[in-house]
Amino acid sequence: MREFFIYLITKEVAHCYYGKENKLFQLFFEEQRTSGISKNILQKQISYITSLLSVSQLEEHFFQQFSGTYEWRYEGHSYTLQCKNSSARIELTKNHLHVYSIGNFEAETIIFEALRHFEPYFLAMDYGDRKFGWLSPFKLNRVYAT
C-alpha cells in the first residue's frame, strides 16, 4: 500500500522553493514525527505556507472528472476510485488530502491528474519512502534586470 499526504502550497512559497522541495518535505516530515511544543510550532509554520482546501469544491471537481468514466464512490468520510488493477482511497480535509492506493499506479495517477487540473501547487509526500514532488511541475518566469 502506498500512502500520500498532499498539501496545497501557496503560490509565493511554491515559487521560492521550486527546486528546493526537499526543504519543504523536511518540514512536513518533522511535523509528523514530533510532539508537544515543537509540533505546535511546526504546525503553525505549515499553516503559514499552505492554503486551505475547499472540500466541497474538491468533491464537485472529482465528481465532474470521474462520473461516467470511473467507479467513484463515497464511503464514510472518504472516497474510493476503483480501476481494473488498482484502487485509491482519498480522505479530504481542509488542510490536506490523504491518499492510500494499492495495485498498479493507475488509480493514483488518475487522482493526481484531476488535482493538477484543480490547482497547480499541490505537493505530494510519501513519508514512508521519503519521496515527494509537485503534482504539476510549473515553470518559473525569471525576469532579469539590465
Please report how many Cα atoms fall inside a 13 Å half-sphere around the Cα of residue 3, on the Cβ side.
Answer: 6
Total-model pTM:
0.90
- Give the residues of the chain that fall short of pLDDT 50: 143, 145-146
Q: In the prediction, which pLDDT does 68 show?
A: 84
Domains within the chain, CATH numbers bracketed: 2-134 (3.30.310.250)
> Which string of b and e fits 4-37 if b means at least 16 CB within 10 Å?
bbbbbbeeebbeebeeebeebbeebbebeeeeee
- What's the confidence (pLDDT) of residue 137? 74
C-alpha cell at 139: 515553470
In the chain, pLDDT over 90 holds for what percent of residues? Answer: 88
pLDDT of 77: 85
Angle of helix 21-33 versus helix 36-49 axis, rounded to 10:
140
